[in-house]
């Protein structure tokens, strides 16, 4: 134990010696000290890629097919508006992650541009999504290309790696255990489980991110106002937060799903709207600490508008605990979505969802179908665990006081 | 002490009112008229503004302004009258009186087990800080924490309680069909036999959370000056740990009951559904699938009240255990 302490001290003095280390670099260094953190981060990135490229990995339409000597590209033609939305979001996220690195390195003003850039990207994604849904036509292609290839009508077809669609219904081959044709078996309507798992990752991740986005935005708005003003606004606001926290979240969520129509969007909103309280408390506590600091006084005396004081000056200094909390929020949102779908309150069946596949694991006659239980469960487990590990790592890395105590 | 408790209870009243407002608001702002659906399979859907609809609106008091509706509902709730269940054709309060003890029993057993496992593991992990046991236990519990409960439940039933693999445990219910004819001891073993799998599902997620808190709390105390003093005067290590550190680090853990409770109430919906245990969770689930509004509102309200009661108990226990807490100033701090 003493050896470990010495080592830690040595590391700390080492950290102190290098003056040029930015906060981000420091966090990254502490975060990558554990190999498990890195593995889980890579797994999270892998899930991203899987979700973004799902239609290219598992699809019943071929990339290329030659019919009567003419080349067709059915897979690309059949990409839905939602696919384009995901591509757009992925490009924006990528631009943010690798993008112009100078804006991250700059000492002064860097954070401002960073936060406004975030707002810009959210705007791009939402406007882009609306435009895509208005202008990109929804196609429905019922041609069975595999049958065409088999009967010799078409040649030179290149299929995706897993040549099944997630909405495939083929009752002749339903509830089959894993085989060489269907690696993870088929579900109750004959859809390939592996394909549904891959497409289900999109539902999980998008619900996780959008729900957490909603809860973070609400939490920041409420927490900033309560923490900055204090006094009776804070008193009344905190009573309201207390009320929201007093109702068990999962109970609240299933109560709301009982009254409102069940759709993908509603579930995201419900999970987001019920999960903001912890974010609000974190932000409120940070604002309490920061509002009396010199830089805030300076901003006030400069006559800056309230919006600017709250979100440009205080928020960048207060956002770290919420970002860490958001990581856990994603894992819990993914879990809640799976639980809702498992109970039958989630998205409607043709839409692939991990929880929905899991709920098929025990058939109506009481037969236990292990492949419909094991694989979706593993998918949920590994995803939730990866986010939890990344969250723990981030918390330890951003808050050295905590990591020393725990 | 008494004044502290009274003051604490009085402070709960606005929160309680708030919970009822939230529950009522959700049910009233939801799209669709409550009277347009009479419930049950094959229930009539009546969308037209017919005489029947308006008569029904009048019958249920839905023609009155919303705040009066709320006041009427609240007045009935205060008298513990939640109306009738559409699905069961019985009083909601009767149903809840039947179901609530089952859920409470499950949760209390789970709580005891969580504490019985987490306290020793957490203390040992803190004492062996940074060594193999510490790292292994935190890794195992982190894994357990991430296991989705519906998956674990279904796997346990599939592998240990079904005809497909092993048939060791009963897959559903609280006791066997013939349980009422048994004398006490066989009845108890039968009941415990049925409880093994559901309680296992309810407990394992709590292990990770509580162990981490115990470990952090003990570690914090191990660095305190009084520990050095205790060691310096020649106390044995077990005496230092159990007489000094343990007693001090247990205090913050009491409040954790309050944070565990809502998660477990939510979790019992899933677990009671998987294992077909007739508790509050299953009642809520069935009510939601059949849109039994009165039951849904009652369950949500009671879950909120239970949660508040847990918070209150934790606060009181905290004050009892730690005499250093000043009752006057805690109210200000709230």
Q: Do B23 and A255 touch (CB under 8 A)?
A: yes
Answer whether residue A378 shows pLDDT above 90. Answer: yes
Q: Where are the alpha helices (DSSP H) in chain B?
A: 2-29, 51-59, 66-78, 92-127, 132-146, 149-160, 184-222, 225-232, 237-239, 246-249, 251-254, 256-275, 280-289, 293-321, 327-333
Q: Is A97 on the interface with B (CB under 8 A)?
A: no
Q: Is A230 exposed, middle or buried (CB count within 10 Å of its CB: 0-12, 13-18, 19+)?
A: middle
- For testing the chain A interface, which of B134, B135, B149, B151 should be mutated: the one with the most A CBs within 10 Å? B151
Report helix, strand or coil for B1: coil
Q: How, if at all, do strands A70-72 and A154-158 pair?
A: unpaired
pTM above 0.95, yes or no: no
Contact A278, B48 (CB under 8 A): no
Instruction: Note the pLDDT tens digit of each residue in B79-116.
Output: 888 877 777 778 888 888 888 888 888 888 888 898 89
Q: Which residue of B has its CA nearest to A250?
A: B266
Q: Do B216 and A258 touch (CB under 8 A)?
A: no
Contact A339, A353 (CB under 8 A): no
Where is average pLDDT lowest: B49-53, B74-78, B171-175? B49-53
Q: Do A368 and B158 touch (CB under 8 A)?
A: yes
Contacts of B26 in chain A (CB under 8 A): 255-256, 259
Q: How confident is the model at residue B16 (pLDDT cuts 50, 70, 90)?
A: confident
Model pLDDT, residue A107? 43
Q: Considering chain B, what percentage of its residues have pLDDT values greater than 90?
A: 1
ipTM of the complex model: 0.81
- Range among A76-80, A224-228, B50-54, B241-245 rated most confident: A224-228
Q: Do B142 and A339 touch (CB under 8 A)?
A: no
Answer whether residue A382 shows pLDDT above 90. Answer: yes
Q: Is A171 on the interface with B (CB under 8 A)?
A: no
Reference B204, options B148, B258, B252, B166; nearest CA is B148
Model pLDDT, residue A2? 47
The whole-angstrom separation of Cα A286 and Cα A232 is: 18
Average pLDDT over residues B116-127: 89
How many residue pairs from chains A and B have C-beta atoms closer than 8 A? 154
Task: Give the H/E segment covering residue A7.
Answer: helix A2-17
Q: Considering chain A, what percentage of its residues have pLDDT values greater than 70?
A: 88
Distance of CA B329 to the CA centre of its chain: 30
Q: How confident is the model at residue B30 (pLDDT cuts 50, 70, 90)?
A: low
Contact B254, B213 (CB under 8 A): no
Q: Which residue has the higher pLDDT, B118 or A69?
A: B118
Model pLDDT, residue A244? 81
Instruction: Note the pLDDT tens digit of each residue in A215-259.
Output: 999 999 999 999 898 888 888 888 888 888 777 778 788 878 777
Average pLDDT over residues B165-191: 77
Q: Is A376 on the interface with B (CB under 8 A)?
A: yes
Q: Which residue of A has its CA nearest to B11?
A: A239
Q: Which residue has the higher pLDDT, A193 or B261?
A: A193
Reference A187, options A173, A200, A201; nearest CA is A173
Reference A89, options A42, A130, A119, A122; nearest CA is A122
Q: Is A259 on the interface with B (CB under 8 A)?
A: yes
Instruction: Note the pLDDT tens digit of each residue in B33-43.
Output: 555 555 444 44
Which string of DSSP letters, residue by residue, matches A318-372? Answer: H-HHHHHHHHHHHHHHHHHHHHHHHHT-SS-TTS--HHHHHHTTB-TT--B-HHH
Q: How, if at all, do strands A64-67 and A70-72 pair?
A: antiparallel
Model pLDDT, residue A98? 64
The whole-angstrom separation of Cα A141 and Cα A78 is: 7
Average pLDDT over residues B143-162: 86
Average pLDDT over residues A19-45: 83
Min distance B173 CA to chain A CA atoms (Å): 15
Answer whether residue A284 shows pLDDT above 60. Answer: yes
Q: Is A335 on the interface with B (CB under 8 A)?
A: yes
Sheet holding A154-158, edge to edge: A70-72, A64-67, A154-158
pLDDT, chain B, mean: 79
Q: Is A251 on the interface with B (CB under 8 A)?
A: yes
Tokens of A336: 């809640």
Q: Residues with Cβ < 8 Å from B70, sequence gap 6 or more?
A: B20, B21, B24
Model pLDDT, residue A392? 85
Q: Which residue of B has its CA nearest to A371?
A: B155
Closest residue to A381, CB basis, from B31, B151, B304 = B151
List, as ranges, residues 184-243 from A with C-beta within 8 Å of B: 239-240, 242-243
């Amino acid at each position: 134990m003493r050896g470990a302490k010495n080592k830690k001290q040595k590391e700390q003095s080492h950290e102190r010696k290098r003056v040029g280390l930015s906060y981000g670099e420091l966090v990254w260094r502490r975060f990558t000290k554990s190999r498990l953190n890195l593995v889980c981060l890579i797994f999270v990135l892998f899930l991203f890629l899987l979700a973004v490229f799902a239609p290219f990995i598992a699809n019943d339409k071929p990339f290329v097919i030659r019919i009567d000597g003419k080349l067709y590209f059915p897979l690309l033609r059949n990409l839905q508006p939602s696919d384009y939305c995901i591509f757009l979001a992925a490009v924006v996220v990528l631009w943010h992650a690798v993008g112009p690195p100078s804006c991250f390195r700059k000492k002064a003003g860097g954070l401002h541009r960073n936060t406004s850039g975030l707002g810009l990207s959210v705007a791009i994604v939402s406007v882009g999504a609306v435009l895509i849904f208005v202008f990109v036509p929804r196609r429905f292609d019922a041609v069975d290309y595999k049958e065409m290839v088999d009967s010799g009508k078409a040649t030179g077809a290149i299929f995706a790696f897993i040549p099944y669609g997630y909405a495939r219904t083929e009752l002749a081959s339903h509830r089959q255990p894993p085989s060489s044709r269907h690696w993870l078996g088929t579900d109750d309507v004959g859809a390939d489980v592996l394909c549904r798992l891959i497409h289900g990752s999109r539902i999980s991740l998008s619900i996780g991110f959008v729900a957490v986005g909603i809860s973070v935005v609400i939490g920041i708005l409420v927490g900033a106002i309560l923490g900055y003003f204090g006094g009776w606004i804070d008193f009344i606001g905190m009573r309201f937060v207390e009320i929201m926290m007093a109702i068990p979240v999962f109970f609240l969520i299933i109560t709301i799903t009982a009254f409102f129509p069940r759709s993908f969007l509603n579930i995201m909103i419900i999970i987001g709207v019920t999960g903001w309280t912890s974010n609000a408390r974190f932000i409120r506590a940070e604002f309490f600490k920061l509002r009396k600091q010199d830089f805030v006084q300076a901003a006030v005396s400069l006559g800056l508008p309230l919006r600017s004081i709250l979100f440009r000056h205080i928020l960048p200094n207060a956002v770290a605990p919420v970002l860490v909390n958001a990581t856990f929020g994603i894992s819990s949102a993914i879990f809640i979505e799976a639980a809702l779908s498992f109970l039958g309150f989630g998205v409607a069946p043709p839409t692939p969802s991990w929880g929905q596949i899991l709920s098929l694991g025990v058939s109506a006659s009481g037969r236990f179908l292990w492949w419909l239980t094991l694989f979706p469960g593993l998918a949920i487990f590994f995803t939730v665990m990866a986010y939890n590990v990344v969250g723990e790592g981030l918390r330890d890395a951003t808050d050295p006081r905590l990591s020393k105590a725990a | 002490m008494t004044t502290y408790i009274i003051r604490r209870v009085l402070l709960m009243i606005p929160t309680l009112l708030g919970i009822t407002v939230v529950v009522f608001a959700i049910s009233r702002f939801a799209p669709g008229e409550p009277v347009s659906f009479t419930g049950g399979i094959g229930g009539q859907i009546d969308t037209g503004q017919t005489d029947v609809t308006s008569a029904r609106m009048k019958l249920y008091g839905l023609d009155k302004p919303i705040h009066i509706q709320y006041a009427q509902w609240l007045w009935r709730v205060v008298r513990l009258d939640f109306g009738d269940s559409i699905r069961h054709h019985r009083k909601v309060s009767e149903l809840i009186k039947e179901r609530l003890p089952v859920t409470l029993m499950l949760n209390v057993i789970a709580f005891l087990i969580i504490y019985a496992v987490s306290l020793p593991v957490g203390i040992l992990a803190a004492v062996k800080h940074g060594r193999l046991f510490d790292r292994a236990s935190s890794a195992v519990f982190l894994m357990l924490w991430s296991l989705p409960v519906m998956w674990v439940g279904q796997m346990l039933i599939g592998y240990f309680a079904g005809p497909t693999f092993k048939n060791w445990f009963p897959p559903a219910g609280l006791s066997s069909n013939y349980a009422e004819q048994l004398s006490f001891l066989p009845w108890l073993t039968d009941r415990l036999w049925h409880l093994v799998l559901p309680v296992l599902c309810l407990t394992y997620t709590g292990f990770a959370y509580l162990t981490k808190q115990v470990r952090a709390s003990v570690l914090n105390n191990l660095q305190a000056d009084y520990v050095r003093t205790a060691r310096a005067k020649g106390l044995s290590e077990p005496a230092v740990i159990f007489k000094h550190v343990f007693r001090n680090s247990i205090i913050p853990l009491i409040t954790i009951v309050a944070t565990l409770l809502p998660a477990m109430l939510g979790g019992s919906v899933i677990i009671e559904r998987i294992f077909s245990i007739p508790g509050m969770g299953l009642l809520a689930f069935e009510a939601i699938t059949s849109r039994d509004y009165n039951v849904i509102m009652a369950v949500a309200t009671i879950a909120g009240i239970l949660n508040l009661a847990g918070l209150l108990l934790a606060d009181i226990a905290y004050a009892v255990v730690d005499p250093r807490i000043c009752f006057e100033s805690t109210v200000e701090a709230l």
